[in-house]
Chains A and B, each alone.
Chain A
Amino acid sequence: MAYRKVAIVGAGITKFVRRAQETGKELSWQAAKMALDSCDLSLEQVDCVTLGTAPDAFDGVHMKGEYLADGAGAWRKPYMRHYVGGGTGVFSPIHGWFHVASGMADIVLVVAEEKMSSCVPHPQGAFLTIFDHTTEQPLKPNLIWIFALEMNRYMQAYGLSKADIALVSVKNKKNAIDHPAAQIPEEITVDDVLNSETLAWPVNRLDISPASDGAAAIVLASERVARRLTDKPVWIDGVGFAIDTAYWATRDLCYPTYVETAARQAYEMAGITEPSKQIHVAEPYDPFDYKELHHMEGLMLCPRGKAAQLTADGVTQRDGNLPICPSGGALGVGNPIAATGLMKIIEIFLQLRGEAGKRQVPGNPTCGLAQAWGDLMQMGTVVVMRS
């Protein structure tokens, strides 16, 4: 490949909370500063800044990228904001990767921020206008509905029960107990999930990640610079992203084809031919518990319809053969949309460096993956990383 090699050399994150006192700018600054400090860089050494943040409607700030630029350290630098819905956070490193891989920059600061709490009484209301304005909005839908529709289809296709799926929520919220940024770490049972409020059957409250405020940041560097900055660079070896039709009701909702398309692109770049064997640890996007299973299948980490069985067998626990969401995921750490995806990238970065503390998966993993998903159930973003 004609690409230059790109490494992650530093990372920063804020706590994920339901409502932060800090503004989006301040959260961005906290994460960005921590990322620079973690690899002993100053802002002057940064060639270029990219920023990921999801809908302007959450913050009520139009042109949010421009508003956040100061906090992201972009002052008088090449700067661009990217936004692909829930897929944004894993698109963030891809956007930064372009700049380094192409030779345009040697050091890129990548920041992802979300402040959902500004939208009152609940940010869910801001989602109404993502639906088709003529054929869908008059029915007054919200996102929980369409996830419920997708989950029901998925359960029906493979004969799964709500209890099979609730195991994901139990696992991830428990994993989050060991994450310093976590918003809702807790030990719960499958019954707790099943007995929580039914919002849109088959979706109960504890099947869903919370609304959150938070920010995350990473530093990317070219090979020459990375080797000077750290003994433990983590390489971005494959990237992929793909979108499917916005006519979401015309697709088979039981399988995320767009995730498979993105994964195949990333795997080809990274030389991955047997994902379930070559990927040692993965952070698929888990805004809802069934989505972790859905995405494991789209990522070809297991055969279609088999992810729930792997979960029941303990394979996806931190000490299992294929640890999934050892961070605690969106379900446990929280889900400030764009920042969640980058939190997952940071988790794989730390896992591959052996620096994940109590969350460290055994076996010295050397290859990991993060994935996110978004827009109207149509966008897949995938990054494969190696130590």
Chain B
Amino acid sequence: MKLEDYKLGGTALRSSDIKQGRVLSTSWEPDLAYAWDDGVAIGRYLAELKNGRIIGRACHTCNRIMIPPRMFCELCFRPSDEWVILEDTGTVNTFSIVHVNWDASRRGPKEKPLIPAVIEIDGASEGMGIMHMLGGVDPDEITIGMRVKAVWKKPEEREGAITDILHFEPVRPKATKQRAGRKR
């Protein structure tokens, strides 16, 4: 058989077909709401975020310190063993400079680009990171391997959510501060 020998189905529509009513369509906007329980491991993770700390969970069989924390080790398939307070600093594993919102709409000309990143958290096993945002930095200055630190919401504004960390910003080397001092 050759595809070229068949009249293929699939009729392409133009947006004008819909706008001008040449093709009929029915629409619906679902109004669904969900309340997701935080779970045992992530519940503690969120509670510690509210305290301004990042917590992980250790498995003594594979010797990993895992973030996000989990009550079972998916590699060893056994209960994980203990809670470990991690640092609120880390290393940029990768990042992107984003001009689209979650629904594919474009960010406006006056809106700053978003800078999501994978950040390997200090104190967790090598390579274990979380997705979060970078801020307080010129996008052109960001490099993979850059050292960053969490910028927290004020304690009274925290609600036990991943957004209790506003973003991560570069750990400024001392030399930078001295230059800033000379400017004054």
Q: Which of A13, A153, A201 contacts B8 (CB 8 A)?
A: A13
Segment at the interface with A among B78-86, B101-109, B150-158, B175-183: B101-109
Are B68 and A247 in contact (CB-based, < 8 A)?
Answer: yes
- Report the interface size for chain B: residues with CB under 8 A from the other chain: 57
Q: Which B-chain residue is minimally distant from A122 (CB atoms)?
A: B104
Q: Which A-chain residue is minimally distant from B103 (CB atoms)?
A: A125
Q: Can you give 29 A-B contacts (C-beta < 8 A)?
A: A12-B6, A15-B9, A15-B10, A18-B13, A19-B12, A20-B10, A21-B13, A30-B8, A121-B104, A121-B105, A122-B104, A122-B105, A128-B103, A138-B161, A139-B132, A139-B133, A139-B163, A142-B103, A146-B131, A156-B144, A179-B3, A180-B3, A199-B98, A200-B98, A213-B10, A214-B10, A251-B127, A253-B94, A356-B2
The answer for the CA separation of A215 and B34 in the assembled complex, in Å, is 32
Residues of A within 8 A of B66 (CB): 250
Q: Which of A60, A135, A198 contacts B28 (CB 8 A)?
A: A60
The answer for the CA separation of A34 and B99 in the assembled complex, in Å, is 42
Are A138 and B162 in contact (CB-based, < 8 A)?
Answer: yes
The answer for the CA separation of A201 and B99 in the assembled complex, in Å, is 8
Residues of A within 8 A of B104 (CB): 121-122, 124-125, 142, 144
* With known contacts A13-B8, A21-B13, A134–B36 Cβ distance under 8 A: yes
The answer for the CA separation of A253 and B28 in the assembled complex, in Å, is 38
Residues of B within 8 A of A120 (CB): 27
Are B118 and A136 in contact (CB-based, < 8 A)?
Answer: no
Q: Which A-chain residue is minimally distant from B74 (CB atoms)?
A: A245
Q: Which 5 A/B pairs are nearest by Cβ-Cβ distance?
A: A30-B9, A15-B10, A14-B10, A148-B96, A124-B104
Whether A11 sits at the interface, judged by CB under 8 Å, is yes
The answer for the CA separation of A202 and B97 in the assembled complex, in Å, is 8
Residues of B within 8 A of A292 (CB): none
The answer for the CA separation of A93 and B13 in the assembled complex, in Å, is 30
Are B162 and A136 in contact (CB-based, < 8 A)?
Answer: yes
Whether A237 sits at the interface, judged by CB under 8 Å, is no
Nearest-neighbour CB distance to chain A for B31, whole angstroms, equals 13
Nearest-neighbour CB distance to chain B for A351, whole angstroms, equals 12
Q: Which B-chain residue is minimally distant from A181 (CB atoms)?
A: B8
The answer for the CA separation of A15 and B9 in the assembled complex, in Å, is 6
Q: Which A-chain residue is minimally distant from B164 (CB atoms)?
A: A138
Nearest-neighbour CB distance to chain B for A259, whole angstroms, equals 18
* With known contacts A201-B97, A250-B129, A253-B118, A180–B10 Cβ distance under 8 A: no
